[in-house]
Amino acid sequence: MSEFVRVAALSEIPDPGKNVYEVDDRFVIVIHAGGQVYCLDDVCTHDDGPLGEGDLEGNEIECPRHGAKFDIRTGEATLMPATQPTQVHEAKIEGDSIYVRLAD
């Protein structure tokens, strides 16, 4: 498994809010919601759409292309047309910094 990488200051992402970052040549969404941080691949598994451009609603993010939804905690597809999960990565807060460790 890769090492944790600092991606942002916690204050850069409102709660609730999200930003897209490039980590080791991979685009990921870092989400700040309910005092927690989550990290997902910035890709809808239905058509490779940019999830980071979608709306955040509670524990779900909606793909802006066709409305597929994903659970930000697990990556599971919760609304068609997506049926496959998107990759989740480990995220943590240390002080005012957000760190991400990409899944292998």
Residue 96 lies in a domain: no
> Which of 84, 55, 52 has its CA nearest to residue 67?
55
Q: What confidence tens digit (pLDDT) does each residue in 46-72 have? A: 999 999 999 999 999 999 999 999 999
pTM for this model (two decimals):
0.95
The DSSP annotation for 34-99 comes to: TTEEEEEES--TTT---GGGSPEETTEEE-TTT--EEETTT--EEETT--SPPPEEEEEEETTEEE
Percent of the chain clearing pLDDT 70 (strictly above): 99
Q: Is residue 14 part of a domain?
A: yes
How many domains would you assign to the chain? 1
Range of the domain at 48: 5-90
**pLDDT beneath 50: ranges in the chain:** none
Q: How many CA atoms lie within 13 A of 100 on its CB side?
A: 28
The pLDDT score that the predictor gives to residue 81 is: 97
- The share of the chain scoring above pLDDT 90, in percent, equals 97
75 neighbors 53 (Cβ within 8 angstroms): no
User: Is residue 32 a part of any domain in this protein?
Assistant: yes
**Residue 63's CATH number:** 2.102.10.10
The answer to the question of residue 95 being in a domain is no
| Domain assignment present for 100 | no
